């Protein structure tokens, strides 16, 4: 598989997005060929202690393996396959906007939480406004009387309007723009996005007003228009 160096770097770094910066550098070297600790140290200029600590963590995460004598580290097949899979997706991807987002979940029942996560994942994968590159589901944990989890999704979007819909309907708690460096919006796209936002805000306002008393509405209005400290 031949890859342009910059194109390959983007693919591999994206595939190992949950690695530390040093671990990403290690993974980039190991993708090309297995290497000893000495070879990694020489090429990366990472102190031996830090390098060994990172390699131990990567072994624990089961993303690298040790083979041969002298011992050489290499990436496990799943990481290599992930890069190939991302390459195939990117070659078919017609969209320019690419983001990474975290969607958090919270519920009082574990089964209800799992069902909610399943539904969101299915919607994201079927939504024609997006192309999902990667979707990581965190383990469900119990916090007091509630269960929590999150999805980390890496996807491309058809246009700015699609991102507005993503923000409203999927409610991410954080979003990182991955590409492009500069965005030029068509007037139609910007107009559609603004109208989408206006409609969504009105629907939200109507729902809020129906559930609030007159006193609560007055206090809410004061909080909106009072200057921030």
- Scanning the chain, the segments in alpha helix (DSSP H) are 5-15, 21-32, 37-44, 48-60, 77-92, 110-126, 160-170, 187-211, 214-225
Q: What is the mean pLDDT of the chain?
A: 83
What is the distance between the terminal CA atoms of the chain, rounded to a whole angstrom?
56
Cβ-count burial of 173 within 10 angstroms (0-12 exposed, 13-18 middle, 19+ buried)?
Answer: exposed
Q: Which residues contact 211 (CB under 8 A, 6 or more apart)?
A: none
Q: How far is CA 99 from CA 51, 52, 162, 172, 188, in A?
A: 30, 32, 12, 11, 21
Query: Are 142 and 108 a contacting pair, CB within 8 Å?
Result: no
What predicted TM-score, i.e. pTM, was given to this entire model?
Answer: 0.63
Q: List, for residues 191-208, the tens digit of each pLDDT value.
A: 999 998 898 888 877 777
3-state DSSP call for residue 71?
Answer: coil
Query: What is 5-82's CATH number?
Result: 1.10.10.10
Place of tokens 């406004």: 129
Top-tier CATH class for 93-184: alpha beta
Does a cis peptide bond (omega within 30 degrees of 0) precede residue 70?
yes
Q: List, for residues 156-195, the tens digit of each pLDDT value.
A: 999 999 999 999 899 999 999 988 888 888 999 999 999 9
Q: What was the pLDDT predicted at 209?
A: 72
């Amino acid at each position: 598989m031949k890859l342009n160096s910059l194109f390959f770097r983007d693919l591999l770094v994206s595939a190992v997005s949950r690695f530390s910066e040093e671990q990403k550098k290690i993974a980039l070297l190991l993708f090309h060929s297995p290497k000893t600790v000495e070879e990694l140290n020489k090429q990366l200029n990472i102190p031996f202690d830090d390098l060994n600590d990172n390699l131990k963590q990567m072994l624990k995460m089961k993303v690298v393996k040790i083979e041969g004598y002298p011992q050489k580290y290499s990436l496990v097949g799943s990481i290599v396959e992930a890069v190939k899979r991302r390459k195939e997706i990117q070659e078919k991807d017609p969209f320019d906007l690419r983001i990474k987002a975290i969607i958090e979940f919270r519920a009082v029942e574990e089964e209800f939480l799992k069902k909610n996560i399943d539904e969101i994942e299915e919607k994201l994968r079927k939504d024609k406004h997006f192309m999902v590159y990667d979707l990581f589901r965190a383990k469900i944990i119990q916090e007091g009387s509630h269960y929590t989890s999150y999805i980390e999704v890496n996807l491309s979007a058809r246009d700015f309007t699609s991102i507005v819909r993503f923000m409203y309907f999927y409610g991410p708690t954080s979003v990182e723009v991955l590409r492009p460096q500069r965005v030029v919006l068509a007037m139609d796209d910007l107009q559609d996005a603004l109208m989408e936002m206006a409609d969504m805000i009105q629907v939200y306002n109507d729902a809020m007003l129906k559930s609030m008393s007159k006193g609560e509405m007055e206090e809410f209005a004061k909080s909106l228009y009072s200057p921030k400290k």
